[in-house]
């Protein structure tokens, strides 16, 4: 990666400061303002030397080392926009991205990192999230990030080194964790999963916290031991690229014909459908959702008990529970 000129670096610093103010105004890190310093210090543009923007003619590639100053300026400003950035495509399919910074901030706050914590990140992406964690903890060796694709882990290492960070970057199946780096106090996934991998729990210390995207939501689990964990979803929606290597055995499309327009339009209802897929059909899910007062994500949770993993509404021992497969 080549060095950027002083004009580009100056523009990046100003854009980064503006992004921090924008996230600040949203109150994303009100509970843990220490993250403000991390976002102010870590240069996101070093992690996205190029990215893709969807347009009417497909994806436009923005490149930071273009000879055209106007192109470089668009690249810098886009790098610090509070939006997700597509960073890797294959045959039109999104393989990797840099998540929306304000969402990253909320997830890192929800992870409740403490001094000295050992953290595993599943889904290395560009390396930006690992850099934020390393800055927050003040020690690169406390952070491990894993991804299945060698090209992704190699570029993440380069980006991290350019930003002055050297956490442990591993190429492997994130669902299996990284046992040689265990035990972990925190695990955060930046890719969507279908269930909670038991390997993660086995690599956690008792009391560890796991934050993972699941069914378009963010699940926060507290680990009791290698066989048991429980927690609830955060209230906000979250959409991530699926974990690479996961087998999809169920259809992605769901027919909502015949349901009231309100059900088709309400995103919290779609979350219930995603969470209970294979267990409830759309009509059953809608009847439950309406009967229980149209619950949002915060009323749902997940329990892991040995071989059994199930989602539930309001109470893990209550009448509404569905196996996660």
DSSP string, 270-290: HHHHHHTTTTS-HHHHHHHHH
**What are the CA-CA distances from residue 277 to residues 2, 12, 258 (Å)?**
47, 44, 18
Whether the pLDDT of residue 270 is over 50: the answer is yes
pLDDT for position 59: 81
Sequence-distant (≥ 6) Cβ neighbours of residue 49 within 8 angstroms: 1, 63, 64, 65, 159
Count of other CB atoms within 10 angstroms of residue 110: 17
Q: What secondary structure does DSSP assign to 219-243, as a single string?
A: EEEEEEETTEEEEEE-SS----PBP
Express as a percent the part of the chain with pLDDT over 90.
Answer: 74
Q: What is the pTM of this model?
A: 0.91
Active site residues: 96
Quick check: 248 and 265 in contact, CB under 8 A? Answer: no
- At 28-48, the pLDDT tens digits run 998 899 999 999 999 999 999
CA distance 277 to 241: 18
Q: Which of 78-82, 115-119, 190-194 has the lowest mean pLDDT?
A: 190-194
CATH (one of 2.70.150.10, 3.40.1110.10, 3.40.50.2300, 3.40.50.150) for 6-233: 3.40.50.150
pLDDT for position 58: 75
Count of other CB atoms within 10 angstroms of residue 248: 8
- Residue 261 pLDDT level (bands cut at 50, 70, 90): low
- At 300-320, the pLDDT tens digits run 999 999 999 999 999 999 999
pLDDT for position 147: 95
Whether the pLDDT of residue 4 is over 50: the answer is yes
Quick check: 155 and 166 in contact, CB under 8 A? Answer: no
- At 169-201, the pLDDT tens digits run 999 999 999 999 999 999 999 988 889 999 999
From 111, 103, 309, select the one nearest 209 (Cα to Cα).
111
**Helix, strand, or coil (residue 84):** coil
Q: Hey, which residues does 210 pair with through a beta bridge?
A: 187, 221
Q: Hey, which residues does 189 pair with through a beta bridge?
A: 122
CA distance 41 to 132: 9
Cα 165 versus chain centre, distance: 20
pLDDT for position 300: 98
CA distance 274 to 238: 13
- Residue 265 pLDDT level (bands cut at 50, 70, 90): low
Domain boundaries along the sequence of the chain: 6-233, 261-323
């Amino acid at each position: 990666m080549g060095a950027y000129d002083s004009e580009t670096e100056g523009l990046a610093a100003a854009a980064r400061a503006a992004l921090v103010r924008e996230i600040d105004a949203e109150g994303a890190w009100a509970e843990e303002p220490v993250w403000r310093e991390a976002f102010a210090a870590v240069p996101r543009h070093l992690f996205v030397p190029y990215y893709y923007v969807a347009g009417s003619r497909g994806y436009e590639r923005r490149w930071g080392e273009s000879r055209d100053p106007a192109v470089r300026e668009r690249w810098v400003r886009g790098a610090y926009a509070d939006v997700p950035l597509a960073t890797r495509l294959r045959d039109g399919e999104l393989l990797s991205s840099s998540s929306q910074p304000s969402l990253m901030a909320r997830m890192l706050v929800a992870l409740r990192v403490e001094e000295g914590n050992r953290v595993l990140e599943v889904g290395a992406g560009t390396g930006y999230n690992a850099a934020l964690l390393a800055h927050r903890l003040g020690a690169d060796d406390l952070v491990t990030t894993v991804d299945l694709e060698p090209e992704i882990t190699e570029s993440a290492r380069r980006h991290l080194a350019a930003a002055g960070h050297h956490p442990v970057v591993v190429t492997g199946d994130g669902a299996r964790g990284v046992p040689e780096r265990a035990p972990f106090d925190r695990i955060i996934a930046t890719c969507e999963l279908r269930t909670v991998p038991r390997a993660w729990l086995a690599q956690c210390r008792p009391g560890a916290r796991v934050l993972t995207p699941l069914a378009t939501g963010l699940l926060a689990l507290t680990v009791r031991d290698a066989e048991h964990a429980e927690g609830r979803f955060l209230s906000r929606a979250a959409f991530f690229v699926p974990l690479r290597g996961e087998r999809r055995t169920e259809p992605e499309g769901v027919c909502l014909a015949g349901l009231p327009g309100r059900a088709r339009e309400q995103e919290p209802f779609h979350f219930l459908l995603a969470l209970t897929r294979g267990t409830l059909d759309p009509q059953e899910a809608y009847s439950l959702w309406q009967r229980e007062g149209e619950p949002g994500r915060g009323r749902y949770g997940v329990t892991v008990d040995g071989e059994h993993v199930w989602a539930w509404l309001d109470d893990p021992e209550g009448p509404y529970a569905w196996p996660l497969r």
